[in-house]
Amino acid sequence: MRKTLVLLSLAVLFCNAGAWAQTAAPAAPWWNEDWNRRAPLVLPSPGVALEGVPLVVSGRQLQELAGGESFSTGSLRVIGPQGEVPCQYDEYDGTGALVSAPNHELDEDDELWFQADLPAQGPAEYWLYWNTTPRPPGRYEVTVRVHDPVEPTSLAGDVQFHNRACLIGLRGPATEEDPTKNTPKNWHSGTLTYIDMFRQRVGGGFPSGALFASPGTEIKKWSAPRQIAWGPVRCGAQIVLPEGTVNLGDDQTARVKVEHRAWLFDRGAWVLFEELVTPLDPIAKWRRTYLTQWRLNPDGSDKIFYSIQGEPKLYQPSADELQHGTGLRFNQPTDPWMVKYSPSEHLLTGAVLNEGEPREGDLREGGSYGYADINLRHYDTLNNLAPNETLRRRFWYLGFQGDYGDGALAYAVPQVLSSRAASLGAVEKRGGG
């Protein structure tokens, strides 16, 4: 598979409204005469069929489509090859809450989410419909859930999410009396402490490197997790640490506000974790490290898929190498994604760390390592942060059940969870509205 294929960038579609404007989909019958505006969205294939891929269109891109016209966010509908697709319009600033008011004012930080099915060959055509006069949001079945833990334990989290494929838990503040002690009660505060996919425990403490997640004086400052959205596409919860002190090195510290949000999507095993960090003091330089880990089966059957500067790679030590320690240790400057395929479990799990483009002047680099335990690690060097400048980081964990040893699905992961992707076409108008 060529580098250009890996970098093709299909989705979580932060749709650049100008990049593909010339490639608008062919004219299609108007879905509903009561809607007077629409725009096409043509999604290229990742080379393997994928169902339920999360896609997002930002409020800023919707503002560009509106072009100064009135825009009813409640009227937004997504129409795919098989008809109407459930969609969900969420606030981003402050709350992340689900929007239900027909006359909600379009904000550049709002987000329209839906899940798309991508074919193995050829593009998929979707359309966004909206109205210039207020309409209530669509009504769809809601099957994804956010709730109190079914069986509260130190690992289950203080709030849980589940759908047909996943059960995940988000942990709140530490419960150990002494927050500096190295005990299970002081680990994974404010993170996804539990990830179960297809009835198998696949992860926890995700993402490692999230702020104030390990033993320390600050971890009791986390608020209790609270539900922020529960809709037909995804459900989410939020946890906030109003003020904490981070160590910048060289005896320097800074105060920051931290918010973590966790999301589970309705279809499939797609988990999203967001970290929002707002410095309260100026920061000249700050180096962050993110990490997640996979353990290899000692029989040598597991495969690790990754890439370096877009070039696909495979790591698979044999059973003899794992048993006798004779194989090469993994030490690679990887791109910020990795996938493990386990044929004994027919399970593929993967992660994308720190998804999105860096700020101007910032540096991102990989330094993944391991042998029988493979660690996907990435560094983020941030420069010249101003007080009240909010940094947003996204981390994905995903899973598929089936036979995926050929790597086609694995190498599609960085494409379908990329910020560089397909775009919205030109607006079409109907009637005089």
**What is the domain-level CATH number for residue 9?**
2.60.40.1180
Determine the pLDDT at residue 229.
Answer: 84
Q: Are residues 375 and 342 in the same domain?
A: yes
Q: Are residues 224 and 372 in the same domain?
A: yes
Q: Are residues 95 and 201 in the same domain?
A: no
Mean of the per-residue pLDDT values for the chain?
87
The phi, psi pair for 51, rounded to 5°, reads -110, 145
What is the dihedral angle through the alpha carbons of 59, 64, 69, 70, rounded to the nearest 10 degrees?
-10
Most trustworthy range by pLDDT among 65-74, 85-94, 297-306, 410-419: 297-306
Q: Are residues 76 and 43 in the same domain?
A: yes
Q: Are residues 136 and 203 in the same domain?
A: no
Q: Are 431 and 37 in contact (CB under 8 A)?
A: no
Q: What is the DSSP string of 170-217?
A: E--S--SSSTTS-SGGGSSTTSEEEEEETTEEEE-SBSBT-TT-SSST
CATH classification at residue 243: 2.70.98
Q: Residue 101 — very low, low, confident or very high, per pLDDT cuts 50/70/90?
A: low
Determine the pLDDT at residue 43.
Answer: 86
- Asked whether the whole model's pTM tops 0.85, one would answer yes
Whose CA is closest to 155, among 134, 138, 175? 175
The larger pLDDT score, comparing residue 124 to residue 2, is at 124
Whose CA is closest to 292, among 191, 376, 413? 376
- The predicted model gives 377-390 an average pLDDT of 94
Determine the pLDDT at residue 106.
Answer: 82
Instruction: Render pLDDT for 118-172 as a digit per residue (tens, 0 to 9).
Output: 999 888 889 999 999 988 889 998 888 888 777 655 566 889 999 999 999 999 9
pLDDT at 310 over 70: yes
Distance of alpha carbon 90 from alpha carbon 200, whole angstroms: 30
**Percent residues over pLDDT 70 in the chain:** 88
Determine the pLDDT at residue 6.
Answer: 32
Q: How many CB atoms lie within 10 A of CB 269?
A: 26
How many residues does the structure list for the chain?
433
- Structural domain count, the chain: 2
Q: Are residues 60 and 158 in the same domain?
A: no
Q: Are residues 125 and 268 in the same domain?
A: no
Q: Choose the weakest-confidence range: 89-98, 185-194, 210-219.
A: 89-98
Six-digit token pair at 40? 């096409």
Q: Are residues 118 and 153 in the same domain?
A: no
Q: Are residues 122 and 191 in the same domain?
A: no
Q: Are residues 379 and 312 in the same domain?
A: yes
Six-digit token pair at 184? 């299970």
Q: 104 lies in which domain range? A: 3-142+420-429
- Considering just the CA atoms, what is the radius of gyration of the chain in Å? 22
Q: Are residues 57 and 167 in the same domain?
A: no
Half-sphere exposure of 160 (CA within 13 A, CB side): 18
Q: Are residues 84 and 211 in the same domain?
A: no
Whose CA is closest to 71, among 133, 10, 154? 133
Q: H or E stretch including 316?
A: none
pLDDT at 272 over 70: yes
